Copies of this chain bind each other. A is one copy, B any other.
Amino acid sequence: MREEEFSVTPWEVKGKVDYDRLIKEFGTDKIEEGLLTEIKKYTHDLHPLLKRKIFFSHRDLDWILAEYSKGVKFYLYTGRGPSGDVHLGHLVPWIFTKWLQDKFDVELWFQLTDDEKYLFEKKLGIRDAKKFARSNALDIIALGFDPEKTHIFSDIQLSGLLYPQALKVAKRVNFSTTKAIFGFNEQSNIGQIFFTSMQAVPAFLPSALAEKNIPCLIPHAIDQDPHFRLARDVLPKLGYLKPAAIHCKFFPGLKEGGKMSASKREDAIFTTDSKADVKKKISNAFTGGATSIKEQRTKGGNPDKCSIFQYYCYLFEWDDEKLQTIRNECKGGSLLCGECKKRLIERVEKFLEDHQRKREEAKDLLDKYLVEHSKKIFELYDK
């Protein structure tokens, strides 16, 4: 794979991603200044992830806002493939989703695709997938979503409701289409081929249950776009609205290049990591520093290719001025990598201490988000 080559599918991101090219290839729209101004009308301030163009692309977000301005509320839908522990990269779109929920005061449907992970990960058992779904739900709850407005569910747990709806999508998608969109072939298993129908369901389920069309906005990492491209084709055929979406970039790993991946344990900081893990991982991280202290003092470092600086951008320094200071001090040679890492370690440790406490508390809250709503859903079962 040459440097300018990359590939992005819902199951694998390879190479150095060119996000502008991705916008063209996927056919999404760039989030321009005008749209940010429009968002600000309702949110009053802009989330740093928007200002920093980490959320950089969208589909029909302008329409969602126009509807909102007329008093038509949307709901949010996002998800997680529970194939292992949650790392900091996973939190980025969820933290932004919570901000959207708070600012717009809207419902959120949070899908845990344990069926997908079971079907796509050769060695993952169905019990493992269900176990991770439950454990990952704790991380979601720890972020503080409104329990009255948030519905967390796993595909396996809620299949009694989801499968009948998924059939409606599946009837309108042929193998040829999934081959073109996802790159399936004759060796793909028949569950993988069917799965996109399940991911489409939360994009219209609240409308189906309410028996009226409710606009849907899906905040997600851009790699999931193929699923929703397909959903946008099919849903109008079922009488539902096309879901809108807002896309983020991939959180960088601690090594050079690429997306943070749960498969490389050293490359990512997990929400369950200990202080010792955090210290070790960040200390060993790839930076934009020069080869010697002397060189760095004179020539400065390069924050743009530094994984540590990206951590500040994505999650650990929401203050733009302070971020700019880090950047300037790095480039000017006054902030060395050791000190910069030390400061990040402190912030990550503090963040995780807080998150891990809330994650523990979430164990008692699980029913509030999960079972109660599932029960309510089952009452609607025959619809």
Contact = CB atoms under 8 A, between A and B. Distances in A.
Contacts of A83: none
Interface in A90-140: 115, 118-119, 126
A178 B190 contact: yes
* Interface of chain A, main secondary structure: helix
Copies held by the complex: 2
Given A126-B168, A163-B163, A167-B118, A174 B156 contact: no
Given A118-B167, A166-B191, A191-B197, 20 more contacts: A119-B170, A119-B171, A126-B164, A126-B167, A156-B163, A156-B167, A158-B160, A159-B164, A162-B163, A170-B189, A170-B190, A170-B191, A172-B189, A174-B186, A174-B187, A175-B184, A175-B185, A175-B186, A175-B193, A176-B187
8 contacts: A115-B163, A119-B167, A158-B160, A159-B160, A175-B193, A176-B187, A178-B190, A190-B196
A189 B168 contact: no
Given A126-B168, A156-B164, A164-B126, A197 B190 contact: yes
Closest 10 CB pairs of A and B: A160-B160, A170-B191, A194-B194, A159-B163, A176-B186, A163-B163, A156-B164, A170-B190, A175-B186, A190-B194
Contacts of A164: 115, 126, 156, 159
